[in-house]
Amino acid sequence: MTLGHAAFLAVGAYTSTLLILEFPWPGFMMDWGLAYPLSILAAAVVAGFWSVLFGLPSARVKGFYLILTTMAAQFITVDFIITQYISQIGGRGQAFSLPPGTIKLGPWVIDSDLDVYYMMLVLTILCVVAVVNLLRSRVGRAWVAIRDNDISADVMGINVVGYKLLAFFVAGVIGGIAGAFWISNLAAISPEHFPWFWSLWLVGVILIGGVGSIHGAIFGSVFMVVVMELLQLGMMPLAATYPKLLMDFLFIKEAAFGLAICLFLIFEPNGLAYRWWQMKNYFNLWPFSY
C-alpha cells in the first residue's frame, strides 16, 4: 500500500489531458476518436514508470518505512511539479478546460453520466481480469512469496527488488488508467482534484475491504460509497430542521470514514473479503462442514 497513490492518478490524468489538448494529432485521429484511447495507454505507461521512480527506496526499506517513503510521491508530484510547472503549460493558470466532445472512444462521445458509467464498467472489468490472471502467473506467485517472507523468497532465487519494482509499475499503470478515465467526468482538471486525502481514502478502502485481496478492493469501494450515500440520505430529514448539517456534510463524511476504519481494525481486521471467504467456504462444505 502507498500513502501517495493519488499522485499516480494525477500523472495519468494530466498525461491524458495534455496529449488530447496539446499534442498535434492528425485531424483524422481526432475525428475518429483515437486520441483519447491512445492517451489512456500513454497515461498508464507514464504513471507506471513514475511509480517505479518512487518505488526505488523499496530496495532498502520495507513495511511501515516503505509506506512512509511513498508519501513523497504526493508532495513532489502534485504539490510541486504539477502545481508549479505542469499546470502552467499553455498559460491556462491552474486548470485545464476539457471542451464538450473532447473525450471520444471511436464514434462514441463520452458526454453523459451514463456514458461515463459504462466506460468505468468496461475499464474496471478489464483491469480486474488482467490482475487476476497476473496473480495466477509466475509474477503473482513471486509477489505472494515476497509478501509472506522476502528473505525466504530471496533464498529461493526470486529477484526481490525487481519484483517489488514491477509491483509498483503495475500499481502505477492502474492508477494512470484511473486518472485518465476520471477526466471524462470533469469539465476541467486542476491539482485540487488530487489531494492527499484521496490517498488516505484509498488506503482506508483497502483496509475495510481486506488487504491482499481483489475482492477486498471491490467490497471496500462498494461499502464506502454505499455508506456515504446512506449517510447523506439519512441526513436529509434532519437537514430540514438543521440546514447547517448539509453544509458540514464533508466533515461528517470524513468523521464517518475514520470511524469505519477504527471499527474494522478492531472488530474485523481481515476486512470484508475474509467474511466473503468464510461464507463461500460454508456453502461449499455444507452440510458436511468437517
Q: pLDDT digits over 48-82, tens only?
A: 999 999 888 877 777 777 777 888 889 999 989 99
> CA-CA distance, 72 to 57, in Å (whole number)?
11
Contact 44, 12 (CB under 8 A): yes
User: What's the pLDDT at 289?
Assistant: 64
Q: Is the pLDDT of residue 137 over 80?
A: yes
Q: Is the pLDDT of residue 7 over 70?
A: yes
Query: Which residues, listed in sequence order, are joined to residue 108 by a DSSP beta bridge?
Result: 105
Retrieve residue 189's grid coordinates: 482538471
Q: 3-class SS at 33?
A: coil
User: What's the pLDDT at 167?
Assistant: 93
The amino acid that residue 78 corresponds to is: V
The amino acid that residue 135 corresponds to is: L
Ranges of beta strands (E only) in the chain are 96-97, 104-105, 108-109, 188-189
Contact 54, 168 (CB under 8 A): yes
Contact 90, 22 (CB under 8 A): yes
> CA-CA distance, 290 to 285, in Å (whole number)?
8
CA 40 to chain CA centroid, nearest Å: 15
Which class for 119: exposed (0-12), middle (13-18), buried (19 or more C-beta within 10 A)? middle
> Across all residues in the chain, what is the average pLDDT?
87
**Whole-model pTM?**
0.89
Helix (H) or strand (E) holding 235: helix 214-241
Contact 160, 142 (CB under 8 A): no
Residue 234: which of 206, 253, 209 has the closest Cα?
253
> CA-CA distance, 254 to 198, in Å (whole number)?
11
CA dihedral 50, 56, 57, 60 (to 10 degrees): 170
User: What's the pLDDT at 16?
Assistant: 93
Measure the CA angle with vertex 170, ends 168 and 176; round to 5°.
Answer: 100
Q: Comparing 85-99, 112-126, 199-213, which segment has the lowest mean pLDDT?
A: 85-99
Q: Comparing 18-27, 142-151, 202-211, 243-252, which segment has the lowest mean pLDDT?
A: 243-252
Domain residues of the chain, as ranges? 1-194, 196-290
